[in-house]
Amino acid sequence: MAFTYFFRDLHTLEIVVRQMVPEVLGRSRIRVWDAGCAMGQEPYSLAMVFAENLGKFAFGNLQIQATDIDESNLFAKIIQAGEYPGEQVKRIPLEVFAKYFQPAQTPGYFRLVKGIRSRVVFQRHDLLSLTPVGGDFSLILCKNVLLHFTPAERVKVIKMFHRTLAPGGFFATEQTQKLPGEVAHLFQQVAGDAQLFRKIGDPKCN
Ligand SMILES: C[S@@+](CC[C@H](N)C(=O)[O-])C[C@H]1O[C@@H](n2cnc3c(N)ncnc32)[C@H](O)[C@@H]1O
């Protein structure tokens, strides 16, 4: 099973959300793609950070498409239920846990509240197919996934992300992932202390 946990690299998630909120507040749809979402801890963490920073009305316009290649075959079942064992939620700050989790029917498990679950949809998807799962995304989050690809694959996947973002949309990756030189002209880094980029450039030219 992939290594991940709730609120991993919270610093980046908070920077991403703070950058986006002023721009997306008036939109009827806030479309986000979390590519390589493992068992859902990351997209649900992102949804909770958005919930804390967007008003209730705008939060209702958020849709996170969470995808993974799902080698375990457990993906859809675990994530759609939004249920996690106590071991996986014990490091979540108490006030956040109390607000967004409830005891599940299965003893020792906890379930995310419907308000959070309803903002995230899941789909099995192979990034190396280079076929996007939609378009016009305000944000593509792809953390701790690109490092598994060859440099050439990484460039192709990031170009596909660029085509799939809305004009001025954001792309975020993990702190240790540098943007390859071949795609550097397509993005502008927007935060010095996070790997957060904004789409620039003509999509027809990539
Ligand atoms: C280490 S986890 C990262 C999870 C989360 N993004 C995080 O940062 O904590 C890497 C995930 O990438 C997924 N992955 C690997 N190759 C993939 C591919 N070709 N397409 C989609 N997902 C892939 C794995 O299944 C795994 O769930």
- Per-residue pLDDT tens digits for 29-47: 999 999 999 999 999 999 9
Report pLDDT digits (tens) over 61-82. Answer: 999 999 999 877 777 788 889 9
Q: What is the mean pLDDT of residues 4-20?
A: 96
With a 6 Å cutoff on the Cβ, whether 148 touches ligand 1 is yes
**pLDDT score at 202:** 58
Report pLDDT digits (tens) over 150-200. Answer: 999 999 999 999 999 999 999 999 999 999 999 999 999 998 899 999 999
Q: Residue 183 is encoded by which pair of tokens?
A: 């795609």
> Looking at the domain covering 10-201, what would its CATH class be?
alpha beta
Ligand 1 center to 55 CA (angstroms):
30
- Judged on CB neighbours under 10 Å (0-12, 13-18, 19+), 114 is exposed
d(C-alpha 20, C-alpha 139), whole Å: 8
d(C-alpha 107, C-alpha 17), whole Å: 34
Q: Residue 44 is encoded by which pair of tokens?
A: 């649900």
With a 6 Å cutoff on the Cβ, whether 8 touches ligand 1 is yes
Ligand 1 center to 188 CA (angstroms):
24
- Res. 19: pLDDT tops 90: yes
Higher pLDDT, 177 or 202: 177
Ligand 1 center to 44 CA (angstroms):
15
Report pLDDT digits (tens) over 98-142. Answer: 999 999 999 999 999 999 999 999 999 999 999 999 999 999 999
The one-letter amino acid at 50: F
| H or E element at residue 103 | strand 101-103
Report pLDDT digits (tens) over 84-98. Answer: 999 999 989 999 999
- Ramachandran bin of 82, using left for φ above 0, alpha for ψ from -120 to 50, beta for the remaining angles: left
Q: Which of 10, 69, 73 to mutate to test the pocket of ligand 1 (most atoms within 8 A of CB)?
A: 69
Residue tagged 């099973």 (tokens): 1
Model pTM? 0.95
Q: Which of 42, 68, 91, 140 to mutate to test the pocket of ligand 1 (most atoms within 8 A of CB)?
A: 68
